[in-house]
Structure 1
Amino acid sequence: MAEDWDPIGLQVGSLQKRIKKIMVTLDVIEPVIDEAIREGVDLIFAHHPLIFKPLKKINPDTSYGRTIQKLLKHDITLYAAHTNLDVAVGGVNDLLADKIGMTNTEVLVNRVEDQLKKLVVFVPETHADTVRNALGDAGAGFIGNYSHCSFNTPGTGTFLPNEGTNPHIGEQGTMEYVNEVKIETIFPMSIEKDVMSAMQKSHPYEEVAYDILKLDNKGKTFGIGRIGKPKDDVTVGELAKQLKETFNLQGLRVVGDLDKKVEKIAVSGGEGNDFISNAMFKGADVYISGDIKYHFAHEAWMEGMAIIDAGHNIEKVMIDGVGSILSDWLKSKNSDTEVYLSKAETDPFTFL
């Protein structure tokens, strides 16, 4: 789900390292690394990548070079989830929308479609229910609010077990005729690995006969930003004051009429200049983001849309959000790996 220019994933260290303590942070700067060293952290999960452009040198006389040197010296692995975490359900933009108090939210800018595929698998009648249920439990067959959807056709399967086989049914050298069921079900491409694993584990045959077909049907769409309604009646000025308190901000910048009633809010974490026009097109009364440039603000102002520039650092909501997701996942795996939430201040700006 990441943009193709985005250097997400492993940045420093090894994916084979055993992890006992994970730190979640927004930014990777030297004070954060020092905090990780003090806390005995093995893995840092960050939103903003440390290494954004190809490195030409690592100079420990600079803060950037020392940061990489400290990671390597103390055997700390660094992993980044950036635009993919912006796009993901439950990611940065959903966390921001929830924190702001938005309702009836939808994607602001479509970016990725989770393409639908069809699985056709042939199963002996005796195991059809087992395979169907396994596929449904893995996420296949979801259509709207219905799960475990499939179409089933009875038929006769034939096969001849040759030398070196260990057939579940029949014997080597003898043609077999088996009452089978052709099961057809759909699944989104993002869970293909899970669906295939469920099929293989639940199917009785040594060699499974199946087809995977790409469909023209539209899959679920994911994207940048969210747009929705405010929970309560509010003006632009009142909303700005709420944001200042909610995100514990020293200050923020507002474009437009402070007394304007807000009926629709758009939000995008990080630098949001590229999506102002999308917010206007979808009827937002106010657009909340960070790092808004002067001339982009002019355009919105002249078009009558308000902007609240709350700063890039509001994305720090991902620390608690990702921390909670990781903790729940580790608990489900009966893991004793600890999740630590970074407390280091990473906002470079001070308001006077």
Structure 2
Amino acid sequence: MTVKHITNILEELAPLSYAEDFDNVGLLVGNENTEVSGILVTLDTLENVVDEAIAKKCNLIVSFHPIIFKGLKKITGASYVERIVIKAIQNNISIYSMHTALDNSPEGVNAKICEVLGLKNIHILIPQGNTIKKLTTYVPKESADKLKESLFNAGAGNIGNYSNCSFSVDGIGTYKPEEQSNPTKGKIGEIHYENETQICVTYDKKAEPKILKALFHNHPYEEIAYEVLTLENTNQNIGMGMIGELEEPMNEKEFLKLLRVNMKAKGIRHSELLGEQIKKVAVLGGSGAFAIGAAKEAGANIFVSADIKYHQFYEAEGKMIVADIGHYETEQFTKNLLVDYLTKKIPNFAVSLSESITNPIKYY
């Protein structure tokens, strides 16, 4: 099994198209055609993690955070990033990062936090924009059903809990084949009139390569007229953060205790307690201060995240509690999620959970 085979499996869970524009995800070190001897899953790729991979005979590291985040102009070993990259290359170890692609996945980082906290009725807190596409094409009427079926099989036409969704309109298409053409219908140099069906389907942007491949492979015309638009419709299945509900309401101190224990937090920084019951909980793994407003608007009683700055706690405005449990603490279960996922997908393959603690923050 090659690196490419493994990354294809990972991208079923978290397509790279889900990642934020600023991020650096995908295969960062190595060749996608390399045969994989074993996989080590980690939160961060540090030198001790590479050493662990060597010891466990794993030549692919699947890391949540990218070790290369900005451009490297030289690789001399002057920084910890350069030393890690050098060691990985010297030992033929590939490094693959998922980061915000997994953050935005409906089964990713935030879904895992919700699971650990026992939240029910969960949904995306901040849906990601520009993820729904629309394809419009024109096909001879007798070929319309076959083309639609191929597009559906490639992933088009899925809207919420419905599949095979489309809209079709019949009309007359015109074209004149020029000298170098090889028309399916009509004659060179003559205007041709054809009874055509206009087909419109929407789809998730991750499916676009398969859908366009299906279009080109199954459309009967030599030259295919088609349009692809990005829609502003909200996609409720992709995005940052999640919000859910506790099985039973808890008082604030009881919930903070649950939060500390279940998330293995060394301490919790939080805004003023409000003396109210906790029922609705919003979560966002990693640096999540940008979502405080969205959590308030969604009616959360508490927002759990990390890297909250001093003045950002004021944004709670007495309407909810903002709780910072630590960056590592919000994401620590991500590697367990990935190991479980890979083990189910490739049960007879060597997948290891990294034993290295990569949290850079220590508590006195």
**TM-score where L is the length of structure 1:** 0.81
**Partners of 1:275 and 1:159 in 2: CA distance:** 52
CA–CA distance in 1 between the matches of 2:81 and 2:270? Answer: 33
Alpha-carbon distance in 2 for matches of 1:287, 1:185 = 37
What is the match of residue 296 of structure 1? 312
In the alignment, structure 2 segments of 5+ residues that lack a partner are: 1-17
The range that moved more, 61-70 or 6-15, is: 61-70
Q: CA deviation at 1:185?
A: 2.6
Q: What residue number does 1:66 align with?
A: 83
* Alpha-carbon contact 1:158-1:177 (below 8 Å) kept: yes
* Pairing 1:311–2:326 present: yes
**Would you say 1:112 and 2:129 are equivalent positions?**
yes
Q: Which residue of 2 aligns with 1:29?
A: 46
Amino acid at match of 2:327: H
Q: What is residue 136 of structure 1 aligned with on the other side?
A: 152
Shift of 1:112: 2.4
Aligned-residue Cα RMSD (Å) equals 3.5
Q: Are the structure 2 counterparts of residues 338 and 135 from structure 1 closer, same or farther at C-alpha, using a change threshold of 3 Å?
A: farther
**1:266 maps to amino acid:** A
User: What is the CA distance between 1:157 and its match in structure 2?
Assistant: 7.8
Give the distance between the partners of 2:152 and 2:55, measured in 1 at CA: 45
| Alpha-carbon offset, residue 34 of structure 1 | 1.1
Whole-angstrom CA distance in 1 between matches of 2:47 and 2:306? 23
Give the whole-Å Cα distance in 1 for the aligned partners of 2:317 and 2:129. Answer: 31
Structure 2 counterpart of 1:40, from 46, 57, 65: 57
Q: Which residue of 1 aligns with 2:211?
A: 195
- Residue 164 of structure 1: how far off its partner (Å): 9.8
Moved more, 235-244 or 181-190: 181-190
SS in 1 for 2:295: helix
Pair 1:100 & 2:117 matched: yes
Q: Return the alpha-carbon distance in structure 2 between the equivalents of residues 250 and 80 of structure 1.
A: 27
Question: Does structure 2 retain, via aligned residues, the 8 Å contact 1:237–1:258?
Answer: no
Shift of 1:178: 8.0
Partners of 2:283 and 2:111 in 1: how far apart?
A: 9
Partner SS for 1:220: coil
2:148 aligned counterpart, secondary structure: helix
Return the TM-score normalized by structure 2: 0.79
1:207 aligns with 2:219: no
CA distance in 2, matches of 1:68, 1:154: 57
Give 1:174 shift.
Answer: 12
Change (3 A) 1:119 1:99: farther
Task: Give, in whole Å, the separation in 1 of the partners of 2:89 and 2:46.
Answer: 14
Which AA in structure 2 matches 1:279?
A
Q: 2:356 aligns with which of 339, 344, 351?
A: 344
Q: How far does residue 214 in structure 1 lie from its aligned partner after superposition?
A: 2.1
Other-structure match for 2:20: 3
Q: How far has the Cα of 1:154 moved from its partner?
A: 5.6
Higher mean displacement: 257-266 or 166-175: 166-175
- In the alignment, structure 1 segments of 5+ residues that lack a partner are none
Deviation at 1:269, TM superposition (A): 0.7
Q: CA deviation at 1:321?
A: 2.0
> CA separation of 1:42/1:202 partners in 2, compared to 1, >3 Å: closer, same or farther?
farther
Amino acid at match of 1:342: S
Shift of the alpha carbon at 1:284? 2.1
In 1: Cα distance, 2:332 partner to 2:31 partner: 26
Q: Which residue in 2 is equivalent to 1:324?
A: 340
Whether the 8 Å contact between 1:286 and 1:307 is mirrored in structure 2 is: yes
CA displacement 1:65-124 (0-9 Å, x = unmatched): 432221111111112222222122212122222322223333333442313313324156
Change in CA separation of 1:26 and 1:233 when aligned onto 2, cut-off 3 Å: same
2:7 corresponds to: none
Opposite residue 87 of structure 2, the aligned amino acid is K
Correspondence 1:287 to 2:303: yes
Counterpart code for 1:31: N
- In structure 2, do the counterparts of structure 1 residues 123 and 34 end up closer, same or farther at CA, with 3 Å as the change threshold? farther
Distance (Å, rounded) in 2 between the aligned partners of 1:226 and 1:147: 25
Provide the rounded CA distance (Å) in 1 between the counterparts of 2:105 and 2:128. Answer: 11
Q: 1:216, CA displacement in angstroms?
A: 5.2
In 2 relative to 1, CA 185–67 (structure 1 residues): closer, same or farther, beyond 3 Å? closer
In the comparison of the two structures, how many residue pairs are matched?
345
Measure the CA separation in 2 of the matches of 1:85 and 1:138: 23
